[in-house]
Structure 1
Amino acid sequence: MEVEVKLFGDLREGRFEQEKAQLEDNSRVIDIIKKCNLPLEHVAVCFVNNREAEFGQVLENGDRVAFSPPVGGM
């Protein structure tokens, strides 16, 4: 299956902003994190189809997945 992956903030450094990823059926959000070599402690929030999601959520073909790092200072 194919999903769209978008990275925000510091997660883009040395990687990409947006790209399509090929995954096996029944893959989970955590599988994308591993595939993109994102340090788990650097992923503060993830979204699937614009809704906040857990790392264990099962993905479907065509899903849009986004990852955001922790945001500091306010």
Structure 2
Amino acid sequence: MAGKIKIEVRLFANLREMFPQESRGVKEFQIPADFSIDQLVDLIGDIDRSTVIIMQNGRREKDFGKKIKDGDRIAFFPPVGGG
């Protein structure tokens, strides 16, 4: 049976509203050691998988099946628009 790991999740722009205001978009989670990014998205809430930009330890990650490791920093960004 796998243990628990600790990670840091950062939400940016309008996604920050998913965490309490005082957290300023940053929250630590303890999750099962075999958790994937996809499972983390489900845990956090209503994030659109088709448009969200995910960074794992500062690197863009497109594989939602990728496993998360102890101490990882996962950041979620909404799509960037301009004009």
TM range (shorter): 0.7 to 0.9
Task: String of CA shifts for 1:45-64, please: whole Å, max 9, x gaps.
Answer: 10110001122111100000
Q: Which residue of 6, 11, 15 corresponds with 1:11?
A: 15
Question: Sequence identity of aligned pairs in percent?
Answer: 30
Equivalent-residue separation in structure 1 for 2:43 and 2:18 (angstroms)? 14
Equivalent-residue separation in structure 1 for 2:26 and 2:50 (angstroms)? 17
Equivalent-residue separation in structure 1 for 2:74 and 2:47 (angstroms)? 16
TM-score by length of structure 2 reads 0.78
TM-score by length of structure 1 reads 0.86
Q: Which residue of 47, 66, 72 corresponds with 1:57?
A: 66
User: For the pair shown, which has the larger CA radius of gyration, 1 or 2?
Assistant: 2
CA contact (8 A) 2:18 2:45 kept: no
Equivalent-residue separation in structure 2 for 1:68 and 1:20 (angstroms)? 17
Q: How many positions carry a matched residue from both structures?
A: 74
Call closer, same or farther: CA 1:14–1:60 in 2, change over 3 Å: closer
Runs of 4+ in 1 over 4 A off after TM superposition: none
